Structure 1
Amino acid sequence: MSILFWIIVGIIAGWLAEQIMGRNHGLITNLIVGVIGAVIGGFIANALGFTWGGWIGSTIVATIGAIVLLFLLGLVKRR
């Protein structure tokens, strides 16, 4: 998959995670959270044996990973 695909999925996943978690970030932060979330979500999906492909599957996996990332960052930030 191309880098453009990962940028678009990252932005969408970061934005969705931001909306679900009630946060307010900018475009670049959404991209970073979404791309890191895609790595985390991919790891989780592979560990559980899920194989989702395409735009929708990749966006769902990346969003789940981004939500996990924002949740963990929220725990660390509270301390």
Structure 2
Amino acid sequence: MIIGIISWCVFGLIIGAIARFLMPGTQSMGLIMTILLGVVGSFTGGFISTLIFGGGDGAAMHPGGWIMSTIGACLVLFIASKMAASK
């Protein structure tokens, strides 16, 4: 179980860092928020993948692959930046 949590954190950090690199501008977030961005982006990418390609195992939410996770994280980062700018 602890290995699973550590692997999700490492995966989230990598995906979050890639998304922050791809999005223009600066994002003021630390390590924990980058990890959360990657994890939430992974589930967002999995949800988008399910909507587009259909769910193979019937699950409504599942983690996406590397590409869909990165796309999902970029989408989450874009929405968060627009919400922060509107305040």
Normalised TM-score (structure 1): 0.77
Match of 2:10 in 1: 8
Alignment of 1:1-79 (within 5 A): 2-22=4-24, 23-24=26-27, 25-49=29-53, 58-79=65-86
CA RMSD in angstroms comes to: 2.2
CA distance in 2, matches of 1:32, 1:74: 15
2:13 maps to amino acid = I
CA distance in 2, matches of 1:11, 1:27: 8
- Once the 2 structures are TM-superposed, how far is the Cα of residue 35 of structure 1 from its aligned partner? 0.6
Q: Which has the larger radius of gyration?
A: 2
> Which stretches of structure 1, 4 residues or more, deviate above 4 A after TM superposition?
none
- Once the 2 structures are TM-superposed, how far is the Cα of residue 5 of structure 1 from its aligned partner? 2.5
- Is residue 12–residue 59 contact of structure 1 (8 Å, CA) maintained in 2? no
Secondary structure, aligned partner of 2:7: helix
- Once the 2 structures are TM-superposed, how far is the Cα of residue 28 of structure 1 from its aligned partner? 1.3
Secondary structure, aligned partner of 2:65: helix
**Unaligned residue ranges in structure 1 (runs of 5+):** 52-56
Mean CA deviation greater in 29-38 or 3-12? 3-12
Percent identity for Structure 1 against Structure 2: 34
Secondary structure, aligned partner of 1:42: helix
- Once the 2 structures are TM-superposed, how far is the Cα of residue 27 of structure 1 from its aligned partner? 1.6
